């Protein structure tokens, strides 16, 4: 969380002149939002796509699953700025979309050149991400769980045995 833009900057310096895409959620993006200055200053061809659900969505999912929906500091107590205003302060062209029907046109515009640009995609705050990590499960064994047979057929290495129930 918070590493999409810094990693994109590193990739851009490693591959000068090539377009790099950074995809981040609004919460993680705020952790390193100041790196927009680096993108602007060096005119890095980074296309930032921000998925904005106005909450810490992945953490909220864990709170709903494991803490009876107590969403303190993910929904309750969380806010984000108007990203269009913030990005414009760094003189990076930006746009916001709110409808699925706008995606194709927005992506076409985003990749029309090799200059830095920003696309904010507003998504529903209750959107859920699947597959996702689970408590006490290995990273390759995510919710919703696959049958052991299907998981084994998709693995390139031997899967770990089932964790013991606590």
> Does the structure show a pLDDT above 70 at 166?
no
Closest among 71, 123, 74 to 97, alpha carbons compared: 123
The secondary structure of the chain, three-state, reads CCCHHHHHHHHHHHCCCCCEEEEEEHHHHHHCHHHHHHHHHCCCCEEEEEEECCCCHHHHHHHHHHCCCCCECCCECCCCCCHHHHHHHCCCCEEEECCHHHHHHHHHHHCCCCCCEEEEEECCCCCCCCCECCCCCCCCCCECCCCHHHHHHHCCCCCCCCCCCC
Query: Are the C-beta atoms of 99 and 43 separated by less than 8 Å?
Result: no
Q: Residue 68 has what pLDDT? A: 80
Paired residues of 51 in beta bridges = 25, 121
pLDDT of residue 161: 72
- Mean pLDDT taken over the chain: 89
| Structural domain boundaries in the chain | 4-129, 130-166
40 in Cβ contact with 7 (< 8 Å): no
Lowest model confidence (mean pLDDT) among 60-74, 79-93, 115-129, 130-144: 60-74
Model pTM score: 0.82
Higher pLDDT, 77 or 98: 98
Going by CATH, does the domain composed of 4-129 fall within 3.40.190.10? no
Kindly report, residue by residue over 23-57, the tens digit of the pLDDT: 999 999 999 999 999 999 999 999 999 999 887 77
Backbone CA torsion sign across 123, 128, 132, 133:
positive
If one compares 67 and 90, the residue with the highest pLDDT of the two is 90
At 48-85, the pLDDT tens digits run: 999 998 877 777 777 777 778 777 776 677 788 999 99
């Amino acid at each position: 969380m918070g590493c999409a833009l810094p990693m994109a900057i590193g990739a851009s310096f490693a591959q000068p002149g090539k377009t790099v895409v950074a995809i981040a959620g609004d919460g993680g993006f705020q952790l390193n939002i100041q790196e927009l200055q680096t993108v602007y200053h060096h005119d890095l061809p980074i296309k930032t796509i921000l998925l904005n659900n106005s909450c810490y969505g992945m953490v909220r999912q864990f709170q709903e699953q494991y803490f009876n929906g107590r969403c303190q500091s993910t929904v309750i107590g969380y806010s984000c700025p108007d990203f269009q205003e913030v990005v414009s302060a760094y003189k990076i062209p930006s746009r916001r979309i709110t409808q699925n029907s706008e995606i194709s046109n927005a992506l076409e515009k985003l990749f029309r050149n090799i200059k830095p640009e920003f696309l904010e995609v507003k998504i529903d705050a209750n959107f859920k991400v699947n597959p996702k990590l689970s408590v006490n499960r290995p990273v390759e064994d995510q919710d919703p769980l696959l049958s052991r047979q299907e998981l084994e057929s998709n693995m390139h290495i031997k899967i770990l045995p089932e964790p013991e129930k606590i």
